Amino acid sequence: MATVCEARGGARTLDLTRRAATYFDKILKGAKPADLPVEQATKFVLVINNKTAKAIGLAIPESFLLRADEVIE
């Protein structure tokens, strides 16, 4: 059984990796993990796979495509 995903959104992987590295550095320098603040992602991306959407007969509105950070044709 195949799963089709025509759009996804989420935090930018590069930003999450940088934040993890910063935390790791602080812990290596002696900070207690329990004392570090919990942070949430602030930058998100929206990727639309328009090729797959068209293949399954789904029309994505132009206004939605314009808002996407990346459109796969």
Q: From the centroid of its chain, how far is CA 19?
A: 14
In this model, does residue 3 exceed pLDDT 60? no
Residue 1 within a domain: no
For the chain, what is the domain count?
Answer: 1
Where residue 41 falls (left for φ over 0; alpha for ψ -120 to 50; beta otherwise) is: beta
Residue 23 within a domain: yes
Are 50 and 71 in contact by the 8 Å Cβ rule? The answer is yes
Residue 2's pLDDT band, with cuts at 50, 70 and 90, is: very low
Q: Alpha helices of 1-73 — where are they, by DSSP H?
A: 13-28, 50-55, 62-67
Residue 13 within a domain: yes
Residue 2 within a domain: no
Residue 40 within a domain: yes
Residue 32 within a domain: yes
Report how far residue 17's alpha carbon sits from residue 22's, in angstroms, rounded to the nearest whole number.
Answer: 9
In this model, does residue 35 exceed pLDDT 50? yes
More confident residue, 61 or 42: 61
Which residue segment(s) compose the domain that 57 sits in?
7-72
